[in-house]
Amino acid sequence: MTEQSNHRPHLSSDDPRIMLDGEIGQFENVPPYPPRTEREAEFYTLADGEMFLNMGPQHPSTHGVLRVVLKINGEQVVDLDPVLGYLHRGVEKLCENSDYHHIISQVDPLEYVSSLFMEWAPVMAFEKLLDVQVPRRAEYIRVLTGELLRVSSHALYQGWMALDLGGLAPILYSFIERDEIVEMLAAITGQRMLFNYFRIGGVNGDLNHEFMSRLGDWMSRALKMHETNIALLNENEIFVRRMRGIGKVDKDTALRMAVTGPNLRAAGVPFDVRRAHPYSVYPELEFDIPVRGANGGGDSLDRYLLRLDEVRESIRIIDQCLHNMPDGPVMARLPRLLRPRPGRAWAAVEAPRGLYGTYAISDGTDQPFRMKIHDPSFVNMQLVGMLMKGNLIADTMAVMASIDPVMGGIDK
Amino acid sequence: MSFIPGIGLVRGMGLTLRRFFQPKATIKWPEEKADVAPKFRGRLQLLYDEYGTLKCETCFQCAQACPIECIDMGGVDTKGRFHVHWGPPETYGERREESALRRSGRPVADTAYAHFEGIDIAPLDAILDAHDYDPKELLAILEETQAEYGYLPVAALKHISRITGAWYAQIYGTATYYRHLRFEPPAVEAVAPAGQAQIAAEDGFRSALDAALGYGGRAN
Amino acid sequence: MTTLSRSWGNMTTLGKVVVPLLLLVLVGGPILTIAVGLWVGPWLLGVLSSNMGIVRFVVAITGVLLFSIPAAFIIIYMELKVIAQMNLRVGPDRVGPAGAAHSVVAGLKVLTKEDFTPKSADVIVFTWAPVIVFLTAVMTFLVIPFGPGFIDPVTGERVGGLVGQDMNIGLLYMFAVGGMTVVGLLLAGWSSFNKYSLLGGLRSAAQVVSYEIPLTLSVVGLILLAGTMSLQGIANQQEGWFTNWFVFRQPLGALIFFIAATAEANRTPFDLTEADSEIVAGFATEYSGMRFGFLFFAEYVNVFIVSALITTLFFGAWNAPIDINAILALVGLTPPVIALDPGSLGIGLLVLIGLAPVVLTALFALPFYLAKSSRPAWKALLIGFVLFNLFAMGILTLLAYIGWGWFAGLIWFFIKSFAFVFVFVWMRGTFPRVRIDHLMGFAWKWLLPAALLNLFLTATAIVVVKSL
């Protein structure tokens, strides 16, 4: 066997084998190597009275495995450094080695909370590459299930937001709501979470009796349930005090940081991909784009209230879809082995968190050459560092929760 | 910069109290079971049709379609031939070719899994014992095995893998890297092993390259 | 155990010491007890009876210490179940009947966990911090009046009662000792060598200290009205109808006290010290095993103490809401004096004890047997037996309630205290957490002036009423 090494190996501060010798100052050399960028140098030097607090990858409230290194002065956060990559699964590389049909199941686990949208954009991009005409019924079903999932995702957001602020009840109510919607989607797609439902050229299965009965049941209660769940939190003074004025984003900052989705609309910019770059059958549907914070910018409370408005709009869209559902096939006829012409295609959809886009480059073989995924949470997370300066530790949670990131999408 | 606990708090408490008396949403498993949609595809079971026969025909379509190749199956086809396809290949680089062949459903002539002749293991055990079953001394073990048997039989490689714990693919890869190790018996008499000379030559080349590129000394 | 069952040659050193000692105790024990009982016994009894006060004190504090653990268990079970029901789920329901044994089993689980100390922690402080927290929480049990005393025929006032020690500065003692909890929390947070614990400990120090002041100020008005700081005295003054309760004379004080007490007990919405969505478990992050059990139990004991305080001060500690004596006097009856003399029944007593259970069981079982034809007789008898037990317990409880004033008071005290515990648990299930600066702002800018205002109004009212 190899002889014992006499020197201690050089361990990074993430290594679980780190040996503490009881030196007090040891914790302050957070990266043991010299700083590589200016930002690192700026962040990792401590002024008087400051200390690092590591809200590590295992934390009850960081929305997944996110490591946030806070530099705090007492209770006030001076600077914030998010460390990503704990959930990186190499999705884009996996997509490069999968057939076009297999990509749909690879791409589901990005933003596992709203996985149909994650399938939608690649499918649209491939349809552009293959010049496939999607049947209208399939488009309507896509919109219907998508909007259902948006309602479910925003319901989860509500609960999550309250949980991060300390309230234990709303998340349970959110999960009851979400359970109903997810059972509905299981009746039509076959799964409760990572649906794998959209196909290139349509969807996998038609509406069935089980789905329609559950949907009808739910629609009759949807708005009323929405109102009840609002009542618990909207008027709660503690909740409102925790969120008003925290994390104010104005129009210019949001545009500069390339934020999209409800975060952008809560900052006063009426940008929605469904209206700005219309896709699918959205041009035929009537719905408004709620905007908040038009003067001065939006804070966390505006982001929260905006998502509640969006739920109402989604219920409206679902209603219209049900009334206008055309007949026809639900999937275009396509060969099993797809070889699109060499080319590039970009497609973007409005996911519950923002603009989710896919840039697919095909080289004529049956696997794409490159599939670049533009994830909304990845861009929205950049806001956290900016918004946290000067707030308290407790606000870190409020701000992060109000931006609604999902780590699966950020780390891909 | 302060708040008066007002009506909103009390109304929130009223809502929770109302919820206290409402029927609960819990499904008490195992006494109650949730209804699962007929289309649910998460059931871990093979389905039977109404006559009691198994629906699965071992057509390999699911294994062929699975993007992460996690499905193994074995079954008898209509001509009575038994096909079996095992789990994922170990190296990512040869994934494409090998998997296409495997996913086609045709029987794969894989020398690693085909029938191989047995050999007398006792000398091999002695060799392994001499090296203390250490997979880090793999090259020396392989060279001595070749000296013993004249070539590297598949049975010997499998035995080494089982005893030392190294993966078969690692041993196979090491064996294929060195040109003096062979897998078939020699047509002519054995050539003297050139192992150490090759290693020294490669080391010299690598250190010269490092020096030329300006890197510090690297361990092999 | 295996130490004892080995043969002498195989025994460890420890075994060689323990086994002879054990034999000595087993054999010599009874002999010694008899000897001591015969010679020392009467002397011992004489000593005890002449120092009844000390004996009473020791018995009382043992009693309250032993009571605190079941109280914590009940409150933990209530919290799990009540919050679950409010969240539309079922709480624990597997362990005992309807999950009642869940908190007991959880306590046992906490005992069996590994009790480690972090490497760079300050070991002495780390070990003693939970003890301080638990001790100060339990020491406050000493002055809480659980039940009324008897009426002294000479002075016509109530004397004694189910109190550990009826100090005439009882309220001051309570606040003093209860305020020491923050020392324990701070030590726990500091000695853990963990930034989360440090944050939790400092937050808790700031919170508890700043809410002490409105807490104590809000009851000063009450003390002015009652004229005494003894809790039993305050309880005595709320006798009679429920309109005598101090909550109607000091509503603002009651509200301020309730809010400040929530903050003192580190309960939601003021539970930043253990905000488990921000600083994982606050000051208790590095604790495990029984040390964590101490901290955990201390919190629930605190909840009980605080609700007992609210009940005592404002809601008439052990007093029933209605005055039975006054109602009976209206009708013309006097309150019944239960003077049971079982011996007077004679042979009837034997008949009662022998026959009554059997006859009543059969009587209660009969309708169940007749109602469902598929029910076997033994099942019906079982149901009848259970019903007979409930009936007998009900009768005895009623007799005890009527006969013993302290029993009635104890029941009312527990009903009211646990009602307030329910309110605390209810608040935990509903509200999110406040932020530290909101917390401090609220205490210093709103509660403190409100408490001062309350004091001012009370004092003015007393002066005005006295001069009229």
**Last residue in a domain, options C382, C401, C420:** C401
What is the spatial distance between Cα A59 and Cα A67, in angstroms, rounded to a whole number?
9
Using CA coordinates, name the residue in chain C closest to B23.
C88
Segments forming the whole domain that contains residue C269 = 102-327+404-467
Predicted confidence at residue B83, as pLDDT, reads: 60
Q: Give the span between the Cα atoms of C263 and C306, in whole angstroms.
A: 10
**Which of C80, C88, C444 should we substitute to test contact with B (largest number of B Cβ atoms within 10 Å)?**
C88
Token pair, residue B213, equals 């590129």
Mean pLDDT of C112-131: 84
C11 located within any domain: no
Examine the domain organization and report whether C270 and C354 are in the same domain: no
Q: Is the pTM of this model over 0.80?
A: no
Chain A residues with beta carbon closer than 8 angstroms to that of C435: 241-242, 392, 394-395
Sort strands A76-83 and A198-199 into parallel, antiparallel or unpaired.
unpaired
Domain housing A205: 91-411
Kindly state the tokens that stand for C234. Answer: 């305050």
pLDDT band of residue A22 (cuts 50, 70, 90) is very low
A33-74 confidence digits (pLDDT tens): 667 778 877 888 777 888 888 887 877 766 788 888 888 887
SS3 C399: helix
Q: Using the 8-state DSSP alphabet, how is residue A56 labeled?
A: -
User: CA triplet A326, A332, A337: central angle to 5 degrees?
Assistant: 165
Residue A358's H or E segment, with its range, is strand A354-362
Is A133 part of any domain?
A: yes
- Rounded to 5 degrees, what are φ and ψ at A298? -115, 145
The verdict on C287 and C314 lying in the same domain is yes
Q: In B, which residues are within 8 Å of C89 by CB distance?
A: 24-26
List chains touching A (3+ CB pairs under 8 A). Answer: B, C
What digits encode the pLDDT tens for the residues A277-313? 998 889 989 888 998 887 777 888 888 889 988 998 9
pLDDT interval class at A8 (50, 70, 90): very low
**pLDDT for position A335:** 85
Per-position b or e across A279-313, b if 16+ CB within 10 A of its CB? bbbbeebebeebbbbeeebbbbbbbbbbbbbbbbb
Q: Which of B7, B67, B136 sits opposite A98 (nearest CB)?
A: B67
Average pLDDT over residues B88-94: 37
- Verify whether the Cβ–Cβ distance A231 to B12 is below 8 Å: yes
Asked if residue C345 and residue C252 are part of one domain, the reply reads no
Q: Examine the domain organization and report whether C434 and C372 are in the same domain.
A: no
Residue C86, chain A, CB below 8 Å: the answer is yes
CA distance C363 to C383: 11
Residues B197 and B203: beta-carbon distance below 8 Å: no
- For residue C424, the chain B residue with the least C-alpha distance is B13
> For position A236, which CATH number holds?
1.10.645.10
What is the 8-class DSSP label of residue A284? G
Sequence-ordered list of residues with C-beta below 8 angstroms from that of A355, at least 6 positions apart, any chain:
A260, A261, A273, A348, A349, A374, A376
Q: What is the domain count for chain C?
A: 2
Q: Is residue C296 part of a domain?
A: yes
- Spatial distance between the Cα atoms of B64 and B72, rounded to a whole number of angstroms: 10
Residue A300 placed within a domain: yes
Helix residue ranges, H only, B25-167: 61-65, 95-103, 122-130, 138-149, 154-164
Residue A68 three-state SS? strand
Residue B84 has pLDDT above 70, yes or no: no
In this structure, the answer to whether residues C243 and C380 fall within a common structural domain is: no
Whether omega for the bond prior to residue C130 falls within 30 degrees of 0, making it cis, is no
ipTM: 0.82
Residue A7 pLDDT greater than 50, yes or no: no
Predicted confidence (pLDDT) per residue in A220-264, tens digit: 888 888 887 776 677 788 888 888 888 888 888 889 999 999 999
Q: Which of A90, A42, A75 lies closest to A408, judged by CA?
A: A90
Work out the average pLDDT over C155-181.
82
Domain count, chain A: 1
Cβ-count burial C90-124 (b if 16+ within 10 Å, e if not)? bbbeeeeeebebbbbebbeebeeeeeebbeebbee
Give the start-end residues of each E strand in A4-158: 51-55, 67-73, 76-83
Residue at C2 is within a domain: no
Burial of C262 (0-12, 13-18, 19+ CB in 10 A): buried
Assess if residue A28 is contained within a domain. no
Return the domain boundaries, chain B.
61-116, 122-177, 192-220
List chain B residues with CB under 8 Å of A7. none
Tens of pLDDT, residues A362-380: 888 888 899 999 999 999 9
Confidence of residue C398 (pLDDT cuts 50, 70, 90): confident
B8 Cα to chain A: minimum distance (Å): 5
State yes or no: cis peptide before A57, omega within 30 of 0. no
State which of B51-60, C373-382, C414-423 shows the largest mean pLDDT: C414-423
Q: Which residues pair with C431 in a beta bridge?
A: none
Is residue B117 very low, low, confident or very high in pLDDT (cuts 50, 70, 90)? Answer: confident
Write the DSSP symbol of residue A167. -
Q: Which of A73-77, B55-59, C3-7, C322-326 has the lowest mean pLDDT?
A: C3-7
Task: Name the band, by pLDDT with cuts 50, 70 and 90, for residue A394.
Answer: confident
Is there a domain that residue A22 lies in? Answer: no
Rounded to the nearest angstrom, the minimum Cα separation between B5 and chain C is: 10
Query: Which of C88, C426, C429 faces B22 most closely, judged by CB atoms?
Result: C88
Q: Is residue A298 part of a domain?
A: yes
- In sequence order, what are the beta bridge partners of A358? A347, A373
Buried b (16+ CB within 10 A) or exposed e, A10-39: eeeeeeeeeeeeeeeeeeeebeeeeeeeee
Contacts of A193 in chain B (CB under 8 A): none
Same domain, C372 and C238: no
Using a pLDDT cut of 70, give the percent of chain B over it: 66
CB atoms within 10 A of CB B72: 11
Average pLDDT, chain B: 73
Q: Give B41 to chain A, closest Cα distance, Å.
A: 5
Q: Is residue C263 packed enough to be buried (19+ CB in 10 Å), middle (13-18) or exposed (0-12)?
A: buried
User: What is residue C432's predicted lDDT score, i.e. its pLDDT?
Assistant: 84
Q: Look at residues C354, C374, C401 and tell me which one is the last residue of a structural domain.
A: C401
Mean pLDDT for all residues in chain A: 84
Q: Is the pLDDT of residue A218 over 50?
A: yes
Find the mean pLDDT for residues A6-29. Answer: 50
| CA–CA separation, B100 and B106 (whole Å) | 10
Assess whether C122 and C260 both reside in one domain. Answer: yes
Contacts of C272 in chain A (CB under 8 A): 394
Cβ-count burial of C38 within 10 angstroms (0-12 exposed, 13-18 middle, 19+ buried)? Answer: exposed
Residues C209 and C251 occupy one common structural domain: yes
Token digits of residue C382: 């079982």
pLDDT > 70: percent of chain C: 94
Contact C86 A392 (CB under 8 A): no
Give the distance from residue B171's alpha carbon to the nearest chain A alpha carbon, in angstroms.
Answer: 19
Could you read off the pLDDT of A333-352 as tens digits, one per residue? 888 788 888 999 999 999 99
Residue B192: per-residue pLDDT: 54
pLDDT tens per residue, range C275-331:
555 556 677 778 888 888 888 888 899 999 999 999 999 998 888 888 777 777 777
Quick check: is A334 in a domain? yes
C120, C278, C433: residue with CB nearest A22: C120
- Specify the range with the lowest mean pLDDT, choosing from A131-145, B57-71, C195-209, C347-361: B57-71
Mean confidence (pLDDT) of chain C? 84
